[in-house]
Amino acid sequence: MNINNNYVILGTGQLGLAIMDELTAQGIPVTLVNRSGRVSEPLPTTATLIQADVNNPDEVERVTAGANIVFMCAQPAYHQWPEKFPPLMASVIEGVARTGAKLVFGSNLYMYGPTDGQPLHEELPYAAETRKGKARAQVARMLLEAHQQGRVQVTIGRAADFYGPRVTDSAVGDLLFEAAVQGKTANLSGDITLLHTYTYIRDFARALLTLSAHEEAYGRVWHVPNAETISTQQFLHLLEAEVGQAVKYRLAGRVMLWVVGLFNPAAREVIEMLYEFEEPFIVDHTRYAAAFGANPTPHKE
């Protein structure tokens, strides 16, 4: 198969579809790839969906041949990252390397581990002790080593916790917004008075497109631009001003999450990441801003 589109997106989750939205707004065709060959919403006429298992490098090569840029947005189930993320990334690296396309990976900040409230920047060591943090560190090293070896050109954009269209599995995702609008009770964790950087998912998508278009972005890690860091409590106040009523919430502690986790593997996996909400979590995007400028969407918008 030879792809006619310059852009291929592996994965049709919240980030993959956000990148599709940005390309569609610019009238740029894009090819989407997922394992089922189905998505839960109508796709624009400029988007093509292909079924493939990207755990197989031959399949990756098949669906990316002819593309210039490949966005890696696929990932295993949250509780399966340690076992499945490294082999998945190895497959993607191998398949894309065969085609000569450039590889752009949308990632998070788990690999750094706790920083005692100090801002997170790209030069921090990978000090995570969590299962998922170690998995993220491993795939980051795999990508950068592949770039250094000349196998494939790679750039990595990292974001904080998402919010925005289609975002569900986040502290301030759709479930919080739906609860606010419907007058229901939202679930939050940690100390909501602490500063916490949040990433608007459309800003993340735009930043990855910017990275993909600049040669100087490759071979490096970049923290994508975020709006001013505020506390989760301040975020709630902004939401309350929009919906015109108080947002009801309960704080889910470790014990509650442990109990829920007996029946829900994803909830159980949240426990080891609670440190992000038990100390200030502030992300520094100075490197990106200095290289490409930064105009993140204000939280109020």
Between 112 and 250, name the one with better pLDDT. 112
Amino acid code (one letter) for 251 = L
pTM metric for this prediction = 0.94
Task: Give the residue among 94, 99, 90, 72 at the shortest CA–CA distance from 3.
Answer: 99
**Rounded-to-integer distance, Cα 120 and Cα 112, Å:** 8
Task: Give the residue among 109, 70, 111 at the shortest CA–CA distance from 93.
Answer: 70
Please check whether residue 97 is in contact with residue 77, taking contact to mean a CB–CB distance below 8 angstroms.
Answer: no
Between 167 and 144, name the one with better pLDDT. 144
- Let me know if 294 is exposed, middle or buried by CB neighbors in 10 A (0-12, 13-18, 19+): middle
Please check whether residue 35 is in contact with residue 63, taking contact to mean a CB–CB distance below 8 angstroms.
Answer: no
Q: What is the pLDDT of residue 141?
A: 99
Q: What is the pLDDT of residue 174?
A: 73
Task: Give the residue among 251, 252, 247, 250 at the shortest CA–CA distance from 182.
Answer: 247
User: All domains of the chain, ordered by start, with CATH?
Assistant: 7-160+199-223 (3.40.50.720), 163-198+228-282 (3.90.25)
Q: What is the pLDDT of residue 175?
A: 76
Task: Give the residue among 206, 218, 199 at the shortest CA–CA distance from 285.
Answer: 199
Please check whether residue 74 is in contact with residue 105, taking contact to mean a CB–CB distance below 8 angstroms.
Answer: no
Tokens of 174: 């759709």
Amino acid code (one letter) for 222 = W
Assign 112 a pLDDT band (cuts: 50, 70, 90). Answer: very high
Where residue 127 falls (left for φ over 0; alpha for ψ -120 to 50; beta otherwise) is alpha
- Length of the chain equals 301
Task: Give the residue among 184, 182, 190, 172 at the shortest CA–CA distance from 248.
Answer: 184
Amino acid code (one letter) for 180 = A
Q: What is the pLDDT of residue 176?
A: 83
pLDDT of 49 over the 90 cut = yes
- Mean predicted confidence (pLDDT) in 154-170: 92
Assign 178 a pLDDT band (cuts: 50, 70, 90). Answer: confident
Q: What angle do CA 55, 262, 87 make, to 5 degrees?
A: 15
Over residues 75-95, the pLDDT tens digits come to 999 999 999 999 999 999 999
Q: What is the pLDDT of residue 5?
A: 65
- Mean predicted confidence (pLDDT) in 207-222: 98
Assign 100 a pLDDT band (cuts: 50, 70, 90). Answer: very high
Assign 2 a pLDDT band (cuts: 50, 70, 90). Answer: low
Mean pLDDT across the chain, nearest whole number?
Answer: 93
Question: What is 83-144 written as a DSSP string?
Answer: HHHHHHHHHHHHHHHHHT-EEEEEE-SGGG---TTPPB-TTS-----SHHHHHHHHHHHHHH
Sequence-ordered list of residues with C-beta below 8 angstroms from that of 267, at least 6 positions apart, any chain: 257, 260, 261
Question: What is 170-238 written as a DSSP string?
Answer: STTSHHHHHHHHHT-EEEE-S-TTSEE-EEEHHHHHHHHHHHHT-GGGTTSEEEPP-PPPEEHHHHHHH
Over residues 242-257, the pLDDT tens digits come to 888 888 888 877 767 7
- Helices 14-25 and 201-212 sit at what angle, rounded to 10 degrees? 70
Tokens of 290: 């200095």
Over residues 227-245, the pLDDT tens digits come to 999 999 999 999 888 888 8
- Mean predicted confidence (pLDDT) in 194-205: 97
